Chain A
Amino acid sequence: MKILAIDTSTHVMGAALAEDDKLLGEYITNFKKNHSLRLMPAIDHLMNELEIEPKELDAIAVAKGPGSYTGVRIGVTTAKSMAWALNIPVYGISSLQMLAQNGKYFSGYICPFMDARRGQVYTGLYTSENGCVKEVEKDRIIILEDWIDLLKEKQEPVLFLSQEWDKHKEAIQEKLSRQVVYGSFSDMLPKPSKLLEVVLNQGESISSHELVPEYTQLTEAEKNWLASNKGKRNDE
């Protein structure tokens, strides 16, 4: 079974290919450049190198968010459109779970996060079980200070995985002090091969049509509308 994995949910862009439980190739770049332009050439490069034709694929896995809205849409749209055209299933995996999987050998809590601006982070809490991380506090967007308070109550070591670690480490270390563990530079990087690990362990595939991004929040326009139309539902 050949599975292509795609991640464009942050400025890291990645594609990986596995056959059964063998990782055949992985391509990752970590710099700010256009994913919309570069993703398909990256997939093409990987497939060419591995001499695999699109029609040989059996499934596609993608990081479905949270993350950059546009970035997530590029990955999800590419994954679902390719899967639809090939009539194969897709796996939509949390971008945070993918990152948490980098800490699968850690025995405490694993906290992947991404900066979401205005003091907020996209984050969730995971623990590792038999080589695969599972969610214990669901993915969300939250004020970092509030999240730290929640972690403090756990009173257990927390492994932090984030490309924005340096930006937030002082705030985190100040409050959590000895609870804090953090990854090395390559642990901080989301890797599409980790999507494949999650898929192989516990993935549930869906049809391409059903795959939608996980933004964890409404659009600004919807939030403002709800604020000024109290008591109404968002779909009214």
Chain B
Amino acid sequence: MNINNQKKENEIILAVETSCDETAAAIVQGGEHILSNVVASQIESHKRFGGVVPELASRHHTENITWILEEAMKKAEVTFDDLDAVAVTEGPGLVGALLVGVNAAKAVAYARRLPLLPVHHISGHIQAARLERPWRYPALALVVSGGHTELVLLREEGEYEVIGQTRDDAAGEAYDKVARTLELPYPGGPYIDKLAAEGTPNIELPIAWLEPDSYDFSFSGLKSAVINTLHNAKQRGETIRSEDLAASFQQSVITVLTEKTKRAADHYQVEQIVLAGGVAANKGLRTAMSNTFASSSVELTIPPFSLCTDNAAMIGAAAHVQWKKNKTAGWDLNGVPGLALT
């Protein structure tokens, strides 16, 4: 691949993200400046099914992809000649959905003779922090979304070490399932957050601490406990305030997330902590993290809501690191649904 020999630091990247149900494209300069960030959400299309339908998501991506790419270019007021590279989410994600972004990115890069930069979706969520402020290492990232719950250590730029992850459900998945039990609309996470703010955490629910030295998580027991609590109350003819149950559930999740993050931060003596992923939009979690690290010297970065949920600007930010390290892909790049973060 013909990458320019003179390496620019303020390169302009067209980034593409289609790993789940958002068709997204962005133009990012130097890994810091968002020139445009276009996201076409498919939430409305999947709502009636109560969750993302993979085949439908892939179909929508194919219909929308060039419209979204064009809008990103127009909003950024750039032409193809201004671009230095095309970046795309390689994985993880829904395979059919990933393939649309990967093939679109390859086609554009090939047609315009631009280098192709493969990006790991989670590194994207983490590098969204770069769009806020420069990194300080070592750093720790807590990534929480519908598909992921991971603690990632960054000893230096672009080096990712997963030190903890969920052993069953992702935190966001547990939120969605509990929301369904409480008959809240889809997607349920934001509704639980809202309900929880009006309730009192007075219902005892389990917290899975796992082994004393483990940074892993587990949320399936908690999810079942919520379902059982509701079920048992119904059997006894009692009513439970949804607000209180939501608050109790949220407290259990947040307690284990913040506590394990704190432990890891102390152990690895990190300089910076990043809260990333769709669930980072949760007010309860944001507040708890801010309180936990308020009195410490550790810098806490929480990207704005629009950069926490899936978007392509974060892929452009992560691609900047790939660009600097010359990590380009060949024309045989493929979507990898179970791609590991390294």
Residues of B within 8 A of A221 (CB): 49, 53, 55-56
Please tell me if the beta carbons of A40 and B332 are within 8 angstroms of each other in the complex: yes
Stretch with Cβ within 8 A of B (4 or more), from A67-75, A152-160, A182-190, A191-199: A67-75
Q: How far is the CB of B290 from chain A (nearest CB, A)?
A: 40
Please tell me if the beta carbons of A212 and B49 are within 8 angstroms of each other in the complex: no
Please tell me if the beta carbons of B331 and A40 are within 8 angstroms of each other in the complex: yes
Taken together as a complex, chains A and B put the C-alpha atoms of A36 and B124 apart, in Å, by: 22
Closest B residue to A82 using CB positions: B107
Closest B residue to A234 using CB positions: B48
Closest B residue to A207 using CB positions: B66
Residues of B within 8 A of A41 (CB): 330-332
Residues of A within 8 A of B55 (CB): 69, 219-221
A58-86 interface with B by 8 A CB criterion = 69-70, 73-74, 76-82, 84-86
A208 at the interface (CB under 8 A from B): yes
Taken together as a complex, chains A and B put the C-alpha atoms of A44 and B96 apart, in Å, by: 23
Most chain B beta carbons < 10 A, residue from A41, A77, A221? A77
A209 at the interface (CB under 8 A from B): yes
Residues of B within 8 A of A69 (CB): 55, 58, 96
Overall SS of chain A's interface: helix
Taken together as a complex, chains A and B put the C-alpha atoms of A211 and B198 apart, in Å, by: 48
Chain A, residues 198-236, CB within 8 Å of chain B (1/0): the string is: 000000000011001101000111100100000000001
Q: How far is the CB of A41 from chain B (nearest CB, A)?
A: 5
Residues of A within 8 A of B102 (CB): 36
Residues of A within 8 A of B65 (CB): 77, 80-81
Taken together as a complex, chains A and B put the C-alpha atoms of A225 and B49 apart, in Å, by: 8
A38-B332 contact, Cβ under 8 Å, with A69-B55, A70-B99, A73-B58: yes
Total A-B residue contacts, Cβ distance less than 8 Å = 106
Closest A residue to B80 using CB positions: A85
- Chain A, interface size category, equals 35 or more
Please tell me if the beta carbons of B110 and A43 are within 8 angstroms of each other in the complex: yes
A17 at the interface (CB under 8 A from B): no
Taken together as a complex, chains A and B put the C-alpha atoms of A106 and B285 apart, in Å, by: 69
Taken together as a complex, chains A and B put the C-alpha atoms of A118 and B48 apart, in Å, by: 27
Residues of B within 8 A of A54 (CB): 110-113
B103-140 interface with A by 8 A CB criterion = 103-108, 110-113
B200-243 interface with A by 8 A CB criterion = none
Q: How far is the CB of A5 from chain B (nearest CB, A)?
A: 14
Please tell me if the beta carbons of A36 and B334 are within 8 angstroms of each other in the complex: yes
Please tell me if the beta carbons of B62 and A78 are within 8 angstroms of each other in the complex: no
A27-49 interface with B by 8 A CB criterion = 34, 36-41, 43-44
Residues of A within 8 A of B100 (CB): 73, 77
A84-B69 contact, Cβ under 8 Å, with A40-B332, A70-B99: yes
Taken together as a complex, chains A and B put the C-alpha atoms of A209 and B104 apart, in Å, by: 12
B59 at the interface (CB under 8 A from A): yes
Please tell me if the beta carbons of B99 and A81 are within 8 angstroms of each other in the complex: no
Q: How far is the CB of B54 from chain A (nearest CB, A)?
A: 9
Most chain B beta carbons < 10 A, residue from A82, A213, A222? A82
Taken together as a complex, chains A and B put the C-alpha atoms of A86 and B111 apart, in Å, by: 6
Taken together as a complex, chains A and B put the C-alpha atoms of A229 and B262 apart, in Å, by: 49
Please tell me if the beta carbons of A70 and B106 are within 8 angstroms of each other in the complex: no
Please tell me if the beta carbons of A37 and B58 are within 8 angstroms of each other in the complex: no
Residues of B within 8 A of A84 (CB): 66, 69-70, 108
Residues of B within 8 A of A212 (CB): 62-63
Taken together as a complex, chains A and B put the C-alpha atoms of A69 and B58 apart, in Å, by: 9
Q: How far is the CB of B63 from chain A (nearest CB, A)?
A: 5
B268 at the interface (CB under 8 A from A): no
Residues of A within 8 A of B59 (CB): 73, 213, 215, 219
Taken together as a complex, chains A and B put the C-alpha atoms of A77 and B98 apart, in Å, by: 12
Residues of A within 8 A of B56 (CB): 219, 221-222
Residues of B within 8 A of A38 (CB): 332
Please tell me if the beta carbons of B334 and A77 are within 8 angstroms of each other in the complex: no
Residues of A within 8 A of B108 (CB): 81-82, 84-85
Taken together as a complex, chains A and B put the C-alpha atoms of A86 and B112 apart, in Å, by: 7
Residues of B within 8 A of A209 (CB): 66-67, 70
B290-338 interface with A by 8 A CB criterion = 330-335
Sample of 11 further A-B pairs with CB below 8 A, known A73-B100, A80-B66: A41-B332, A44-B331, A69-B96, A73-B96, A77-B103, A81-B105, A84-B69, A84-B108, A213-B62, A221-B53, A221-B55
24 residue pairs bridging A and B, Cβ less than 8 Å apart: A34-B334, A36-B334, A38-B332, A43-B331, A44-B110, A54-B113, A69-B55, A70-B58, A73-B58, A73-B62, A76-B62, A78-B106, A81-B103, A81-B111, A82-B110, A82-B111, A85-B107, A85-B111, A209-B66, A213-B62, A221-B53, A221-B56, A222-B56, A225-B49
Q: What 4 A-B pairs come out closest when comparing CB atoms?
A: A81-B107, A85-B111, A40-B331, A81-B104
